[in-house]
Amino acid sequence: MKSVTITTLKDMKREGEKIVCLTAYDFSFASLADNAGVDLVMIGDSLGMTMQGNDSTLPVTMDEMAYHVRCVARGVKRAIVVADMPFLSYQQNREQAILNAGRLMQVGGQVIKLEGGEPMADTVRFLVERGIPVCGHIGLTPQSVHQLGGYRVQGKTRDAGERLIHDAKLLEQAGASILVLEAVPAVLARQITQALTIPTIGIGAGRDTDGQVLVLQDMLGIYPRPSPKFSKNFMKGADSIEDAVRAYVKAVKTRSFPGTEHSF
């Protein structure tokens, strides 16, 4: 099948076709997700929790991210490979950001994801101007979990919602190609999605974003800790892991997932 590109994603947004994203951290699961029709395979720093057993994403290092990106990239033929920038790999200055972003691209990343709104806009612009595609991430940003006071829904008040809309527009203006919206009210996510020309990928952001992403271990029901409200176990009723992933792809494409029970 034809490879997915940034242009493909923009066309999908314009045509109203939902975009499917799933995390993967190794060759086998990346290949399975790719074959099942996932449009974006994301190597999230969520591996710090799902693969390493940490309580947060903060301990993940650049060496670890580079290792997992290299493994995943070998298994993907069609989907876009999105690589997470781990904590303190880009916040210090733009030079640090481009060196680490470049490292992840050299091992197979095609789009680099970083967290944060207005404070990160200049960094996003700096990377994009030098040929590095960027996926932004606002709302609940796990690398700021302690500052946020835990894994809480963001943008619940009018002022907080307006700040997120402002951040989203700034990231688009800075050149971000994709924007992840995590744990924000569905109404707000719809407003942001309608205000942007770039695709939005929701996780706990309702059904009106341009696409959805879930953590692999959550959607398979194999993470030993409680999964978040916005996730769903697609292994229930499936005959195999690939069937479960295909069910997830179909549910997103047909707009049956997420439901109101998975939204805020």
Q: How far apart are the first and last CA of the chain?
A: 36
pLDDT in the model for residue 144 = 96
In this predicted structure, the answer to whether residue 1 has a pLDDT above a threshold of 80 is: no
For residue range 74-88, what is the model confidence (pLDDT) as tens digits?
999 999 999 999 999
Of 172, 182, 242, 261, which one is the catalytic site residue? 182
Distance CA 20, CA 141 (A): 20
Quote the Cα angle for 152-260-83, to 5°. 55
- CA distance linking residue 204 with residue 183, whole number of Å: 4
Given the structure tokens 């994801």, which residue do they identify? 113
Residue 136 · residue 166 · CB < 8 Å: no
Work out the average pLDDT over 252-264: 97
Distance of alpha carbon 136 from alpha carbon 193, whole angstroms: 13
Contacts 24+ apart (CB under 8 A), 243-248: 244/219, 244/220, 245/22, 245/32, 245/33, 245/36, 245/38, 245/219, 246/36, 246/37, 248/20, 248/22, 248/214, 248/219
Q: What are phi and psi of 137, to 5 degrees?
A: -155, 115
Is 182 assigned a catalytic role? yes
Cβ neighbours, 10 Å, residue 93: 10
Spatial separation of the C-alpha atoms in residues 224 and 6, rounded to whole Å: 35
* Class of residue 261 by CB neighbours under 10 A (exposed 0-12, middle 13-18, buried 19+): exposed
Domains of the chain with bracketed CATH: 6-262 (3.20.20.60)
pLDDT of res. 179: 98
**Per-residue pLDDT tens digits for 166-192:** 999 999 999 999 999 999 999 999 999
Long-range own/partner contacts, residues 143-149 (CB < 8 A, 24 or more apart): 143/45, 143/57, 143/58, 143/86, 143/87, 143/115, 144/115, 144/116, 145/56, 145/57, 145/58
Torsion of CA 188, 137, 48, 72, to 10 degrees: 120
pTM, whole model, 2 decimals? 0.97
Is the pLDDT at 145 greater than 80, yes or no?
A: yes
The predicted structure's pLDDT at residue 198: 98
Which whole-number Å values give the CA distances from 205 to 33, 38, 102, 182, in the listed order? Answer: 22, 19, 30, 6
Whole-number pLDDT of residue 180: 98
Beta carbons of 164 and 115 less than 8 angstroms apart? no
